[in-house]
Amino acid sequence: MSGRKALLIGINYVGTKNELRGCHSDARNVLNFLQRWGYDPSDCVLLSDEPNVQPGSRSWPSGQNILRAMDWLVRGSEGQSLFFHYSGHGGQVQDSDGSGGLTDTICPVDFQENGQMDSDTLHRHLVSPLPQGASLHAIFDCCHSGTVMELPYTYRTDADGNVNLVDNIKQGIQLAESAAHLMQGGFSMNSVRDAEQLFAGARSFWKGLQHMGGEGGGEEGLAHGEHGQEYYGEVKQVIMYSGCRDDQTSADASIAGAATGAMSWAFLQVMAQFNGQQSYVEILQNTRGMLQQKYSQVPQLSCGEQMDLNRPFRI
């Protein structure tokens, strides 16, 4: 086995009312990109609902198979470089902690029968078990994906391309206050719906603090929740590019006559244009610039530890 492994998931939900068009090609295009970067095809797993994949086979992107493949990706990966890519539907569901907030999800092909996969599950299977010395790069090309892995450090570009670290505490408090102020104006369906979204945004910022060691956490801090002690102090080499903020959708596009996810397309275009010779922050800025020409979604970069964003991109 080489020192690198990859898991790629592309779900078009073929034949359903939720059908997408570009996710199969996204997964294949990212697989080709990784092979050009030296990944061995035998160390890459692709799950999809393409016509040639039999439902019930290990390559079918059911929730059970996705979890099994995630565990394969991380298991025994000491010192390895791992890559994860997901293209499909993303959503939000009620948080299981009883707070009334929403949590980000991805949607396996059987999500209508067996439910969506929430951010806590993704963190437990991809982040928490990651061994010391291993690194994981992840791309989520789906709606509501800003904090889908519950990583503590989130970076976002503004309209001018400047990159800023999102202040989780400040953003969470502001969103909660905005929701409370909105509800004071009356309980119309629109105000309730808008307030729910604002509270969900606040919740997503605070949940990231559960995984932050040394800053904003501790027994007396906001990190102390149902899973706070379990996650507290994690320092993981995880870097995630997401296609949009938690409150945004991610486009299923047609570009040059080919169906594709907008985030996957922009990322691959940027990597090809600069021949991979970029820093992490430059990839974020250039991907934002590529998307900004046609789409409103704002890509984000999230990390499991504080890092120098100017260091060269390496997988």
Active site residues: 89, 143
| CB of 261 closer than 8 Å to CB of 141 | yes
What does the DSSP 8-state code read for residue 100?
S
Per-residue CA distances from 9 to 134, 193, 223, 291 (Å)? 21, 32, 31, 22
Residues in Cβ contact with 304 at an 8 Å cutoff, skipping those fewer than 6 apart: 127, 151, 152, 153, 211, 234, 235, 236, 237, 238, 239
How far is 119 from 131, CA to CA, in rounded Å? 20
| CB of 123 closer than 8 Å to CB of 67 | no
| CB of 147 closer than 8 Å to CB of 210 | no
Pick from 151, 153, 106, 111: nearest CA to 127: 151
Query: Tokens at residue 201, please?
Result: 């945004």
| CB of 109 closer than 8 Å to CB of 13 | yes
